[in-house]
Structure 1
């Protein structure tokens, strides 16, 4: 298969927080891979901006080391690395003062696309936006990229949106959620709306339930202090899992453009029903002989913050009425995996005598570690001896299906940054989406605080708290096994 490389226009991309962990691990190595693919024009420039008092040569050396550490196989292409580094510049800036801003103004080319990546704490968004305009660096054609968290509740999300709106129109703001840049996530829309096979079945007449799982094997690590103020609900459900839910449940937009897609996602969020307390399970990972507990990692011996959460949700519309959506995410679980499973209903009647096993068609969308899709179908077991039925998968793992070019599938950050340069907001969250998600999330959090609910301790390397099993078990269903 020959992949089509669509280059972007010439641009200047300024990365505030350009010496930070995200820039070194993801953003710059990702841009290097896009450079190798031919998507970055020779005249494109990447400008790091941060407090560190280094020059452009020092910055290039920092990014050279970052590519060597995080760039994968591409890091061996030393000649290309040097050509890429020649397109990098660095300006020390003071986000809360005047230092470096005149120099940044003089470096920026206003005749090309300008994009500003705020890879910094949200508390600095307002300061950066104000100075970009005070020093006449940004205008109404500029684009600004902001990282999550987009607030920690509805009030702070509204305040953050209002701060950005003082200086940028909604059409200039790109709220980046890397989950939406994954190849499989985008394929959700292609599978649903590009195939006559699935869309007629995508409703409560044929779908029994849907499971969305994002499981991690790591703990909170060095993020303990931040995570303890957030928890799995704020850190994962309100954004990542909510977006996956929207893409699975949304109606077909009239056209495939940014606002039409986001309008339909917003309708899903607004149709989510309130969740009863017995449909919420929260947990914290405990200690083992060789590993510390969540409370140890968070350095808070009395913490009631969840490192695991499972929810049973329903969407109040004609398509999905009566279909439960089960969401779960957690840390220190048995495997690292992210998947969506669409479980179709049982046959109304089986014609095969002696076949007492339940056979169900299940469409599984695997997001990580290996992106792809799998459809479970029922066939006759090969060999003589009668009609014995077995379930087998029809597998489409992208790395296999796409052949040699499958390895060139862009990383989520690579794809999303190139979409910013192209001016395509389809895979970015709109301000009203963010606020609607918080409006649904906040009452759940306030509810368990008011009730004094305490997370259940679960074993590291397990599938989470035991009572998460009853979330499905009481309705005759069960979670899919967490496995890579």
Structure 2
């Protein structure tokens, strides 16, 4: 074993590496010789997530010593200025300790190309830079291109990469493209986007990032269901009353007005994150956890999703108004900078969906998301039916609710099980809800990797199980498009006060079914 390999393995072990090779838990999954090019490298996503994730991977010993990082942007920077920019953001946002030795190794492979997306000469310089990394750093022609840019820029960047010869894999070298959501704004645009990108890159080389699929607790949902004997027998319509999937944010548009207005909560969150969580919650056990087998089961679920017959009764949308977020007074959506005062864009969306399979027939799935809600939380709550018979006095169970298994995706990753227990003391029988809690932070010494760490490493390894396929994206738009079309006829969304849990019509939506939203 070479000295560099020994050092890399030692670094990975030192950080108690959670991204291990599943074939041998003693070994980390280390990327081979390669580089990554980031378009939109000066944007928020790159500064706060991508650059720190790349550093953390290097610090965990999961990137090769020769790794190349190239930024492409309009800024008139020298490579030293770009390195200073990368270091500043890495130090501000990295999750592992900052080590000078790791930084020096990473910095040696950092390059910068100045240019715009419509400038062929800039892409010619990029091609020269990539070739230089191959010669000087030994990246061997293996490069991933990360499009951290608005979707409207995907086609032109793809064509420029094709024209300068960077898009096609050759011999033993690979080229891959990473596309950030949203994948279009409806079914037609998603198909057009896929057509354009597929003309340039082989479909197997296209990785669509949904960062929620990289979160530890989302993957733990599969472990909870399929590694334990006690849950799967009751994970069906015989026992489950309904499922609630919630993604709540306590922030407003936070400087994203230009992107968000006209997109809205449903396109921003439900079409990708929440429908993926629904698919993982409802799918059958896969033959294996390979990309093909996972995709097959998720696709079956999305194909079986049925919309409610009465969209007016079983969907809700809202728009946050002024109010209080904690101790701070905040403005309403229509008063935010850059928002059209007549905007009909929803900042809250809730829908009921049904999964028309033998396992889930009659079990509604309620999905909700929104901004300026009571607190930041993402969770999947599987709520069970009441026991068919309670041999207690009616007063003994008046505070007893329904059993539930709640998978907390963020921020406090873990699982809570809610069940009934006797209140201690006294001679009478009184039963009320209690919770049994598992928390990642308290149960494991390993730190959970940030979602982008896992997903970037998976791209570099060519490991696609956590990435939505073209068919999954199309099915998601087929579900959401009729709802968006219906909402477009309704005018202004219902206002809700900031700091609350959404508009009244969302509560009415569940009340019609004899249910109510969980309070996270």
How do residues 63-462 of structure 1 correspond to structure 2 at under 5 angstroms?
A: 63-72=86-95, 74-75=97-98, 77-108=99-130, 109=134, 111-140=140-169, 141-275=174-308, 276=310, 277-288=312-323, 290-297=329-336, 298-353=338-393, 355-357=396-398, 358-403=400-445, 405=446, 408-450=447-489, 452-462=490-500
Give the Å deviation of 1:73: 6.2
Structure 2 CA distance for partners of 1:391 and 1:22, relative to 1, 3 Å: same
2:142/2:175 contact within 8 Å kept:
yes
> For 1:467 and 1:98, how far apart are their aligned partners in 2?
52
Aligned pairs, how many? 477
Give the Å deviation of 1:63: 0.8
> For 2:288 and 2:97, how far apart are their aligned partners in 1?
37
- 2:367 aligns to what SS in structure 1? strand
> For 2:152 and 2:348, how far apart are their aligned partners in 1?
27
Structure 2 CA distance for partners of 1:43 and 1:61, relative to 1, 3 Å: same
Unpaired stretches in structure 1, ≥5 consecutive residues: none
Give the Å deviation of 1:440: 1.6
Structure 2 CA distance for partners of 1:78 and 1:181, relative to 1, 3 Å: same
How do residues 14-33 of structure 1 correspond to structure 2 at under 5 angstroms?
A: 14-33=37-56
Is 181-190 or 110-119 further displaced after alignment? Answer: 110-119
1:179/1:185 contact within 8 Å kept:
yes
> For 1:371 and 1:195, how far apart are their aligned partners in 2?
19
Is 111-120 or 174-183 further displaced after alignment? Answer: 111-120
TM-score (norm 2): 0.88
Find the counterpart in structure 1 of residue 66 from structure 2. Answer: 43
Give the Å deviation of 1:197: 1.3
1:170/1:430 contact within 8 Å kept:
no
> For 2:281 and 2:46, how far apart are their aligned partners in 1?
31
Is 308-317 or 135-144 further displaced after alignment? Answer: 135-144
- 1:314 aligns to what SS in structure 2? strand
2:323/2:499 contact within 8 Å kept:
no
Give the Å deviation of 1:131: 2.2
Find the counterpart in structure 1 of residue 506 from structure 2. Answer: 468
RMSD: 1.9
Residues 427-467 of structure 1, C-alpha deviation per residue, up to 9 Å, x if partnerless? Answer: 111111111111121111111223x2431111110011122
> For 2:389 and 2:273, how far apart are their aligned partners in 1?
38
Is it true that 1:6 corresponds to 2:29 in the alignment?
Answer: yes
> For 2:258 and 2:291, how far apart are their aligned partners in 1?
36
Residues 133-180 of structure 1, C-alpha deviation per residue, up to 9 Å, x if partnerless? Answer: 222223233111001111111111111000011011221100001111
2:349/2:368 contact within 8 Å kept:
yes
TM-score (norm 1): 0.94
Unpaired stretches in structure 2, ≥5 consecutive residues: 1-15, 21-27
2:167/2:175 contact within 8 Å kept:
yes
1:216/1:330 contact within 8 Å kept:
yes
1:380/1:390 contact within 8 Å kept:
yes
Residues 320-341 of structure 1, C-alpha deviation per residue, up to 9 Å, x if partnerless? Answer: 1110111111111110111110
> For 1:30 and 1:123, how far apart are their aligned partners in 2?
25
